[in-house]
Amino acid sequence: MLRSHGGRARAVRCGDLHIDVAFIAASIADEYGNCNGMLGKSAFGAMGFAYADAFHADNVIVITDNLQPYPVTPISIPQIYVDYVVQVDAIGDPAGIQTGTMQITRSPTRLNIAKNVVKFLAKAGIIKNGFSFQAGAGGTSLAVTKFLHEYMKKNGIVGDFVMGGITGYVVDMLHDGTIRKILDGQSFDLKAVESIANDEGHVEVSHIMFGDPHTCGCVVNRQHACFLGATEVDLNFNVNVNTHSDGLLLHGIGGHQDAAAGSDVTIITIPLLRGRVPVIRKEVTTVSTPGDTVDVIVTDRGIAVNPEREDLIEAVKGKMEIVDIEELYKKAISLVGEPKEPKFDDEIVAIIEYRDGTLLDVVRKVKE
Amino acid sequence: MLRSHGGRARAVRCGDLHIDVAFIAASIADEYGNCNGMLGKSAFGAMGFAYADAFHADNVIVITDNLQPYPVTPISIPQIYVDYVVQVDAIGDPAGIQTGTMQITRSPTRLNIAKNVVKFLAKAGIIKNGFSFQAGAGGTSLAVTKFLHEYMKKNGIVGDFVMGGITGYVVDMLHDGTIRKILDGQSFDLKAVESIANDEGHVEVSHIMFGDPHTCGCVVNRQHACFLGATEVDLNFNVNVNTHSDGLLLHGIGGHQDAAAGSDVTIITIPLLRGRVPVIRKEVTTVSTPGDTVDVIVTDRGIAVNPEREDLIEAVKGKMEIVDIEELYKKAISLVGEPKEPKFDDEIVAIIEYRDGTLLDVVRKVKE
């Protein structure tokens, strides 16, 4: 069962997903369980994932390598939810949160895609004071963040917040006043960790608050834009992030469904081809995020807008070239030919749940 | 139905007390409902009372006179619980939180009681590094806080935390390093309000965390001492805070039961007589806090220790005079004679619930 960040929080809170024991790593804790991930030698930043678990698990065990006198503050998970506190030598290496994907892409193709995202938003009149967005940590997303930062700074635009997966690129925006607040569910590099511990405007939020659709309102609903990746997109704007075109299950959903559903404008950044594999398909191998929540596809060979978004098409008319998604598909096919479809067994290896709990798709076993 | 702060949080959380609509005043809020009481012209400090209500009411309405752009931080009540936000001209006058009782007593009798509280704790070896206590806002409690501050500072003792009802007297302790942290469920004066907005070590806590006995552990359990008032105390150390000796219902319970149950040493500060009315009785008119949670009675005419606390009696033996509570009772009677008992109708006007939900006592209507 694969769920989005917000969908998992929803499932835990409503009882669909029962947790017997939650093990919560903390870089500082007191013996009653008040803890956070911001302080100490193993500081890793926001613990947005831990909230729903701590609130609802039958047993909550905080594991720390840094036990400090009561009371530890700031309090991310409060003592009232914590059954046990366990002290260990080391909870892990915080450098490990900073993986290879946390670098701005060097690919000219992808840099061009990122530039076109910012150009599209600018031409559509979306980047103005109060502009708020979700930043990711892929190489292209980081490039979008950097180019957005440059654009906003140059034009004196101040945004309300960035939600994320937070990186140093977003912290730079906070520090020079290009955005007022950072809402952080998971810190993606050590600069973000340092910032959440020290910057008043950098605030930890739970994944409940990030994206649980069964609340009185989650943060994604306030995002003007989000920039997301995909392994495939189809002619109905459905997005696959779970399998590759060979049908093999590879990725989780992350916050993809949540960000797409909530944001005013959901932008998918993809190359038209990966090697000799077209990324735009007639139908995606797996539906991870439904097409009616996806608005714009930015590729290296053109930008397509969901025909349902007449407002966006109207907004950029005459200012920027957009193409039909069928055209992008045909261009890909003309370059590499019709893609070979994988063959599947009947056996289901994964269920893709939508964030609200409905069944979205299944992943079947690929025939050897 | 009268409940303690912690008992009310418990009742709301477990469903004993169902809330249809919670109206939550906030001195700053955004249109999604993220709010606090720390910022803005009507800042009133901690909103510890509001948490259980916000988490469990069918409808949550935040009322503010200070609507600010999304997202408002720090977030006391998060948007995920808030159904509506209503803007009004003024939510109230914050000067009103600072009432006449928030002054140190000038009565030599009460100052003497306060001095004896500190003396008792010192002689018993309880005031040492890490010492943590609950401060109240009555004139005598404030004097205890002041004298404790002086004692700790003079002896180079650093406490872990003060929990309260927080006043400027406690803020002074934080500012000069006599305590490391303030845990604040309700701010009692404007100096406390200013501090909670600005001092990193001054942290807002919910009344759930303060005293709900149905959690994995509440703050009162970590208190070495608390200093509480009483309208009456009886020979079994039961305490009345709800009625006076005339039987009339006058007060709520506040955090009395919670602090008494949790703290290592619960100290009741009372004069032996109020006018010609003895404060120590054979039986209290109403049991608000059960005697088995009460340890020391400090009066202007002597100190009595609950005989169950052999450890405390042993600790101060030879260092400080303590008397039997019967002696204090006899002394009071010898001065003013046997007190007149009120006459009651059968009609019950109030039920006193213990913090864990059990029935503790009832208050009957006084016969005219």
Q: What is the pLDDT of residues A185-203, one digit of tens each?
A: 999 999 999 999 999 999 9
Q: What is the pLDDT of residues B233-249, one digit of tens each?
A: 999 999 999 998 899 99
Pairing of strands A280-281, B28-29: unpaired
A93 burial level (CB within 10 Å; 0-12, 13-18, 19+): exposed
Cβ distance of A70 and B203 shorter than 8 Å: no
Of B29, B268, B37, nearest to B166 by C-alpha is B37
| Range list of H helices, A176-292 | 190-198, 207-211, 256-262
In this complex, which of B32, B216, B221 lies closest to A81 when CB atoms are compared?
B216
Residue B138's nearest CA partner among B116, B161, B159, B169 is: B169
Residues of chain A in contact with residue B74, where contact means CB-CB under 8 angstroms, are 203
Residue in A32, A74, A208 nearest the CB of B222 = A32
Task: Please give the Cα distance from B195 to B255 (Å, whole number).
Answer: 22
Residue A14 in contact with partner chain B when CB distance is under 8 A:
no
State whether B222 and A71 contact (CB < 8 Å): yes
User: How confident is the model over B250-265, as pLDDT tens digits?
Assistant: 999 999 999 999 999 9
The pair phi, psi for residue B72, each rounded to 5°, is -75, 130
> Touching check for B62 and chain A: CB below 8 Å?
no
Q: What is the pLDDT of residue A36?
A: 98
Among B79, B181, B215, beta carbon nearest to A217? B79
| Chain A residues close to B69, C-beta within 8 Å | 130, 160, 180
Q: What is the arithmetic mean of pLDDT over B210-228?
A: 97
The better pLDDT of the pair A266, B97 is held by: A266
Q: What angle do CA A328, A334, A337 make, to 5 degrees?
A: 110
Residues in chain B: 368
Q: Cβ contact (<8 Å) for A222 and B73? A: no
- Could you tell me the end-to-end alpha-carbon distance of chain A, in angstroms, rounded to an integer? 23
**A299 phi and psi, to 5 degrees?**
-115, 175
Residues 6 or more apart in contact with residue B175 via CB below 8 angstroms: B195, B199
B46 touches A at CB < 8 Å: no
pLDDT of residue B135: 83
The three-state secondary structure class of A218 is coil
- Residue A292 pLDDT > 80, yes or no? yes
Counted residue by residue, chain A has a size of 368
CB of A23 less than 8 A from some CB of B = no
Among A52, A51, A44, residue whose Cα is nearest residue A188: A44
**Which tens digits make up the pLDDT trace of A330-339?**
999 999 999 8
Give how far the C-alpha of residue A353 lies from the chain's centroid of Cα atoms, to the nearest Å.
17
Helix (H) or strand (E) holding B262: helix B256-262
Q: Map residue A310 onto helix, strand or coil.
A: helix
Q: Does A341 touch chain B (CB under 8 A)?
A: no
State whether the Cα torsion B186-B191-B193-B199 is positive or negative.
negative
Q: Which residues are CB-neighbours of A74 under 8 A, at least 6 positions away?
A: A36, A38, A204, B203
Neighbouring residues of A331: CB distance < 8 A, sequence distance ≥ 6: A272, A301, A302
Facing A222 at nearest CB: one of B32, B181, B183: B32
Please give the Cα distance from A23 to A50 (Å, whole number): 9
**How high is the pLDDT of residue A101?**
60
Q: What is the 3-state secondary structure (H, E, C) of A23-44?
A: EEEECEECCCCCEECCCCCCCC
Amino acid symbol at A366: V
**Close Cβ partners of A41 (under 8 Å, ≥ 6 residues apart):** A27, A65, A66
Spell out the residues 6+ positions from residue A29 whose beta carbon is closer than 8 angstroms to its own: A35, A62, A64, A66, A67, A68, A72, A85
CA separation, residue B312 to residues B124, B156, B328 (Å): 7, 24, 18
Closest by CA position to B27, among listed B14, B45, B11: B45
SS3 of residue A316 by DSSP: helix
Nearest CA in chain B to A163: B71
Please provide the DSSP assignment of B90-123 as one string.
Answer: -S--GGGGS-GGGS----HHHHHHHHHHHHHHHH
Asked if B360 has any chain A CB less than 8 Å from its own CB, the reply is no
In this complex, the residue of B78, B132, B216 whose CB is nearest that of residue A209 is B78
Interface contacts A/B by beta carbons within 8 Å: 94
A273 to chain B nearest CA, in Å?
39
B129-173 pLDDT, tens digit per residue, is 999 999 877 889 999 999 999 999 999 999 999 998 899 999 999
Three-state SS letters, B274-340 = ECCEECEECCCCCCCECHHHCCEEEECCEEEECCCCHHHHHHHCCCCCCECHHHHHHHHHHHHCCCC
- CA–CA gap between residue A212 and residue A215 (Å, rounded): 6
Backbone angles phi, psi at A90, to 5 degrees: -155, 135
Q: Cα-flanking dihedrals φ and ψ of residue A290, to 5°?
A: -70, 145
- A161 reaches B (C-beta below 8 A): yes
Q: Which amino acid, residue B234?
A: D
Q: Does A180 touch chain B (CB under 8 A)?
A: yes
> In Å, how far from its chain's centre is CA A289?
12
Q: Does B14 touch chain A (CB under 8 A)?
A: no
Query: Which of B2, B51, B9 shows the shortest CA–CA distance to B214?
Result: B9
Phi, psi of A148 (to 5 degrees): -60, -45
- State both tokens at A131: 């502009």
Of B100, B96, B95, B134, nearest to B117 by C-alpha is: B134
Q: What is the pLDDT of residue B99?
A: 64
The CA-CA-CA angle for residues A199, A201, A206, to 5°, reads 100
Q: Please give the ipTM for the structure prediction.
A: 0.94
Option in B33, B205, B218 nearest A216 (CB): B33
CB contact under 8 A, B216 and A83: yes
Give chain A positions within 8 Å (CB) of B221. 32
What whole-number distance in Å separates Cα of residue B247 and Cα of residue A290?
Answer: 68
Q: How much of chain A, in percent, has pLDDT values that exceed 70?
A: 99
Dmax of chain B from CA atoms?
Answer: 67
Q: Is A208 on the interface with B (CB under 8 A)?
A: yes
Give strand pairing partners of B182: B162, B202
pLDDT of the residue at B139? 87
SS3 B21: strand
Q: Are residues A71 and B130, on separate chains, in Cβ contact within 8 Å?
A: no
Closest residue in B to A77 (Cα) is B209
CA angle A21-B204-B210, nearest 5°?
60
- What DSSP state is assigned to residue A241? -
Q: Indicate if the pLDDT at residue B18 is higher than 70.
A: yes
Q: What is the mean pLDDT of chain A?
A: 96
Smallest CA–CA distance, residue A173 to chain B, in Å, is 16
Q: Which tokens sit at A88?
A: 């260990």
- Which amino acid is residue A334, in one-letter code? S
pLDDT in tens, B38-90: 999 999 999 999 999 999 999 999 999 999 999 999 999 999 999 999 999 99
Chain B residues within 8 A of A81 when measuring between CB atoms: 215-216
Asked if the Cβ–Cβ distance from B217 to A80 is below 8 Å, we say: yes
For testing contact with chain B, the best of A79, A174, A198 (most B CBs within 10 A) = A79
Looking at chain B, which residue has its C-alpha nearest residue A214?
B80
Residue B71 contacts A, CB cutoff 8 Å: yes
Please provide residue B92's backbone torsions phi and psi, each rounded to the nearest 5 degrees.
145, 175
Residue B102 clears pLDDT 80, i.e. is over it: no
**Distance from C-alpha of B28 to C-alpha of B31, rounded to nearest angstrom:** 10
Go through the domains of chain A in sequence order and give each one's CATH number: 5-97 (3.40.1080.10), 100-336 (3.40.1080.10)
Looking at residue B105, what is its pLDDT? Answer: 87
Could you tell me the two tokens for B327? 């002696």
Amino acid, single-letter form, for residue B160:
D
Q: Is the pLDDT of residue A99 over 80?
A: no
Spatial distance between the Cα atoms of B181 and B160, rounded to a whole number of angstroms? 6
pLDDT of residue A6: 98
**Residue A68: closest CA among chain B residues belongs to which residue?**
B160
pLDDT digits (tens, 9 = 90+) for B66-79: 999 999 999 999 99
CA distance A98 to A142: 13
The tens digit of pLDDT for each residue in B293-344 reads 999 999 999 999 999 999 999 999 999 999 999 999 999 999 999 988 899 9
Which residue among A80, A201, A208 places its CB closest to the CB of B215?
A: A80
Is B70 near chain A, with CB under 8 Å?
yes
H/E stretch holding A362 = strand A359-366
Residue in chain A nearest B78 by alpha carbon:
A209
pLDDT at residue B101, rounded to an integer: 60
pLDDT in tens, A9-55: 999 999 999 999 999 999 999 999 999 999 999 999 999 999 999 99
Q: Which residues of B touch A181 (CB under 8 A)?
A: 71, 73
In angstroms, the Cα distances linking B106 to B103, B139, B144, B171 are 9, 8, 13, 21
Three-class DSSP category at A199 = coil
Contact A212 B80 (CB under 8 A): yes
